Structure 1
Amino acid sequence: MKYRRLGKTNLHVSVVGIGTWQYGGEWGKDFTQEEVDQILDKAQETGINFIDTAECYGDHLSERFIGDYLSRRKREDWIVATKFGHHFHGYLERSRHWSPDEVLQQLDDSLKSLNTEYIDLYQAHSCSDEEFNNDELWTMLDKQVQAGKIRHLGVSLKTNNESYQTERATEYNVKALQVVYNRLDKAPEATIFPSAEKQDLGILARVPLASGFLSGKYKPGASFGKNDVRSRNEDAEIQQTLRLVEEIAKTEVPESVPMAAWALAWCLQHPAVTTVIPGCKNPDQVVANAKAADLVSTDHPQNI
């Protein structure tokens, strides 16, 4: 495993992390605590030390799985990121909650769910510019940093067009951005990455396997169940994506390299990117994803 400094923080995160939206039950599978334990134990074996979750992956369900795990392990071995701004109300149903009092309650609920006294990276989750541009909210969050409940603040951008929030990140003491970035979506390279590099912000690349399409598991003709978030897309769009991925596999991926590892390493070669956070449904996927670190050059500005 390789490690990189997360922006202006003192956190050294593994270049491959663990995304945990799946644990909330919206990816066609319900997890047990034992399954989560096995995934995270395997992650630690491979050198992974970074977990990303959110209050609305289930009603703090993903956080509770992680918290139960952390209660039986060394908390200091892990860098834990979570998010705020929503309440979960069922499959793909959320309500928005952005007042300082509501966010403070979310923070306390997340700390309780995660069985921890502090959150390493606390991220505004897909906020609008109006929700972001709230001095009272950021003043409250800064007080929680001073109180030790939060180590660092971040923003998980809703889209790759959030130039307003990106440009003002340092003004609000934000030290990391989370963006959608993968071989099928290079949009952050245009404006977000240059601004992040200028401000020395960490970049968390979410959906690095394009919701599993770049994992190499799915071929044209594949379909997804009704309780899988990928089923939101029209079948014609899904099939078009699968055909494009098939072409990429033939023309860009070396024959001896698994496509998932190649796709993650593709993200990590950009000098702005600190870590990728693919989801994992089992320990074997953890091992496969961790192999991306072997394909990453050590010549990177954030490498430790």
Structure 2
Amino acid sequence: MKYRRLGKTDFSVSEISLGTWQVGGSWGSGFDNSSADKIINTAIDNGINFIDTADVYEAGLSEAAVGRVVRSRKEEVYVATKCGRQINPHTNENYQPKVLRKYVEDSLKNMGLECLDLIQLHCPPTEVFYRPEIFELFDRLKDEGKIKHLGISVEKIEEALKGIEYENVATVQIIFNMFRQRPKELFFEQVKKRDVGVIVRVPLASGLLTGKFSAASTFDADDHRNFNRDGAFFDKGETFSGIPYDLGLKAVEGLKALFPNHTNLAPIALRWILDHPEVGCIIPGASKEAHLLSNITASDLPPLTEGQHQQVDAIYDRLIRKHVHHSW
């Protein structure tokens, strides 16, 4: 495993880290504590030292699993969680410092930790990024020893650029992959100037970029890849990176032709992300130990060639760009 500095946090984090949205079972299949513990322990065994979770993942069970495993290990493992998505209705007006404080304190209790390495606002409404009092709260929590750093998880480039204007925002978690390329423009330029760490989520476009799906693939009724393709429950950019499923399959066929020696495209897709030095770490999820071990291999792959990058960009420009580039 290779490690990178995560912006102004100064954390040295595994470039392939772990996201835990579906760590205890694939989306829609329920949560299994023994499976979660096994995957998280295997991650740490293989050098992963940064784990991302959220209070809404499986109603707190994901957080509890992360805390349980991290407390049992001797290695230094950085724990990042998120707050705000429990707010219902999820509106700007309902984002209040006292509400967010309670969520942070609840996460600490749920994980059995005294301090969070990183707390992230969890994709709040855009208006929240224009309210200094929200960001000031986290300075107080830091002074109280409850958090070390504040980050933001965003849907839109606009939100990221506004959020990093606050000096206490140390990281941005954002969607960036072969099918969502806009962050490598102005956003990467600005985070580099401000020494902000970049955490990449949805790196495999909800599994599309593994190359294992087809027109005949089906998804459980409770799987967001079934019920959220049009953004009925949350931002549709979180599902297949916001592109129509059939179009994604067509683009993947182009990638398979470009990388004919790789039956599993996941490590290639992750390597593509790692080729951008502004990225601090990637947090692919894993519902099976095999998925985790596959993802880790990306760290040992050589960078893609300039020609390969150009051809990936050509597929994006021809098929994907008009569907996503200016929406997020």
TM-score class, shorter: 0.7 to 0.9
Give the SS at the match of 1:131: helix
Aligned twin of 1:87: 86
Shift of 1:209: 0.5
Q: Give the structure with the higher percent strand.
A: 1
Corresponding residue of 1:67: 67
Scaled by the length of structure 2, the TM-score of the pair is 0.82
Counterparts of 1:170-189 in structure 2 under 5 Å? Answer: 170-189=165-184
| Structure-2 residue corresponding to 1:242 | 249
Report what 2:323 is aligned to.
none
- Matching of residue 262 in structure 1 with residue 268 in structure 2: yes
Deviates more, 1:220-229 or 1:46-55: 220-229
Match of 2:215 in 1: 220
State the shift of 1:191 in Å: 2.1
- Structure 1 runs of 4+ off > 3 angstroms? 23-26, 94-97
What TM-score do you get using the length of structure 1 for normalisation? 0.88
Using the alignment, how far apart are the partners of 1:166 and 1:257 within structure 2?
Answer: 37
CA contact (8 A) 1:59 1:87 kept: no
Partner of 2:229: 233
1:107 is aligned to 104
Aligned equivalent of 1:302? none
**8 Å contact from structure 2 (residues 151, 169) kept in 1:** yes
Instruction: Report 1:36-185 matches (<5 A).
Output: 36-74=36-74, 77-87=76-86, 95-96=90-91, 97-159=94-156, 161-162=157-158, 165-185=160-180
Q: 1:211 to 1:188 in 2, by over 3 A?
A: same
CA distance in 2, matches of 1:211, 1:178: 16
- Report if the CA contact (8 A) 2:256-2:262 is conserved: no
Q: Classify 1:201/1:119 alpha carbon distance in 2 versus 1 (closer, same or farther; 3 Å).
A: same
Instruction: Say which is worse superposed, 94-103 or 267-276, in terms of deviation.
Output: 94-103
Q: How many residues align?
A: 289
Q: After superposition, what is the alpha-carbon deviation per residue over 1:75-106, rounded to whole angstroms, capped at 9, x for unaligned?
A: x52111111112178xxxx7454200000000
1:282 is the counterpart of 2:288: yes
Identity across matched positions, percent = 37
1:168 positional shift: 4.6
The 1-side partners of 2:193 and 2:54 are apart by 28
1:34 aligns with 2:34: yes
Matched AA of 2:261: E
Distance 1:133 1:88, change over 3 A: closer
Asked if the contact 2:24–2:33 (Cα under 8 Å) also holds between the matched residues in 1, the reply is no
Taking the aligned partners of 1:28 and 1:291, their CA distance within structure 2 comes to: 27
What is residue 204 of structure 1 aligned with on the other side?
199
1:233 maps to amino acid: R
More helix by share: 2
Counterpart residue identity of residue 155, structure 1: I
Aligned partners of 1:137, 1:26: CA distance in 2, in Å?
34
| Aligned residue identity for 2:215 | P
When residues 87 and 224 of structure 1 are mapped into structure 2, their CA distance, relative to the original with a 3 A threshold, is same
CA-CA distance at 1:284 after TM superposition: 1.0
The letter for the 1-side match of 2:53 is T
| Counterpart in the other structure of 2:15 | 15
2:279 alignment counterpart = 273
Distance in 2, matches of 1:165 and 1:280, equals 26
Cα separation, 1, equivalents of 2:113 and 2:260:
43
Could you say which residue in structure 2 is the equivalent of 1:292? Answer: 298
Q: Which amino acid aligns with 2:106?
A: D
The answer on whether the counterparts of 2:21 and 2:53 sit within 8 Å (CA) in structure 1 is yes
Distance in 1 separating the partners of 2:106 and 2:213: 37
Between stretches 218-227 and 258-267, larger displacement belongs to 218-227
Q: Which residue of 2 aligns with 1:301?
A: none
Partner of 2:213, secondary structure, is coil
